[in-house]
Amino acid sequence: MQIRFFHADLKSPAPALGRGEVHVWTAPFAAMEGPGRLDALLSPAEIERAARLKVDRIREQFCAARGMLRALLAAYLHLSPSEVPIAYEPSGKPVLDATVPEWQFNLSHSESLVVYAFARGARIGIDVERLRPIPNLEGIVERFFSSRERETFFALPPALRQQAFFRAWVCKEAVLKGTGQGVPALECCDVAVAPEEKPRVFRIGEDAEAGRKWELAVWEPSPGYIGAVAIERSEE
């Protein structure tokens, strides 16, 4: 699977996206936000959802992230942003409706950054986190990591644990977003933890063959951030 990385802005042209490719876009919120810049691209349902968000910063980021999503999808699909057929699953996850069945996308944001991933004919998940001190890091590992991940994590020198934690966390989140699962399933997703290990999936739930079905890539979308994208491998 070929992964291509881009920086998004309001004038970003969308290159052709072929099967066997993944396009990953990074955009800082600072470049997207501003009165009315992206709000006008939202659907009535998205505007209504945004209005229910009481914290100004969260509401502004929601509008910016979803507005940019519509702008990027519009460029790929050769539609106007208002014509992009985005639907929402009961969990709130945005998806394209049945009129564009092969197109898959996912998005994630952390602090000042939002990332998007697009593919055709393959499920995909993406996650991003800002690297930062985490209180009770070991307790989070005990709760959400698998037994193999915990063993690897606690064998690492303390100086390497924060980076290893975030690397594993974004990988786990990306995989579970790709499969349609969520945080409650984090312990059931077993990924590489040690810094010297290539990003990979060992197991998802009882599926010990998950590593053959899912490909993982880790990258630095911006200084101080780490991201991961999970792509379902073609069975062809």
Instruction: Note the pTM of the prediction, 2 decimals.
Output: 0.93
79 with 135, same domain: the answer is: no
105 with 145, same domain: the answer is: no
45 with 93, same domain: the answer is: yes
Secondary structure of residue 10 in the 3-state scheme: coil
pLDDT digits (tens, 9 = 90+) for 7-20: 987 776 788 999 88
135 with 210, same domain: the answer is: yes
pLDDT digits (tens, 9 = 90+) for 153-210: 999 999 999 999 999 999 999 999 998 876 666 878 899 999 899 999 998 888 888 8
154 with 85, same domain: the answer is: no
Determine the average pLDDT of the residues in 69-79.
Answer: 93
Q: Where are the beta strands (DSSP E) in the chain?
A: 2-7, 21-28, 86-88, 94-96, 103-110, 113-120, 124-130, 189-191, 201-204, 214-219, 225-232
Give yes or no for residue 79 having a pLDDT over 70. Answer: yes
Domain count along the chain: 2
Domain end marker among 101, 122, 143: 122
**Alpha-carbon gap, residue 19 to 26, rounded angstroms:** 21
CB atoms within 10 A of CB 55: 9
Domain end marker among 70, 92, 122: 122
103 with 170, same domain: the answer is: no
pLDDT for residue 156: 97
42 with 111, same domain: the answer is: yes
Domain end marker among 122, 155, 180: 122
50 with 88, same domain: the answer is: yes
Give yes or no for residue 35 having a pLDDT over 60. Answer: no
107 with 150, same domain: the answer is: no
pLDDT for residue 137: 94
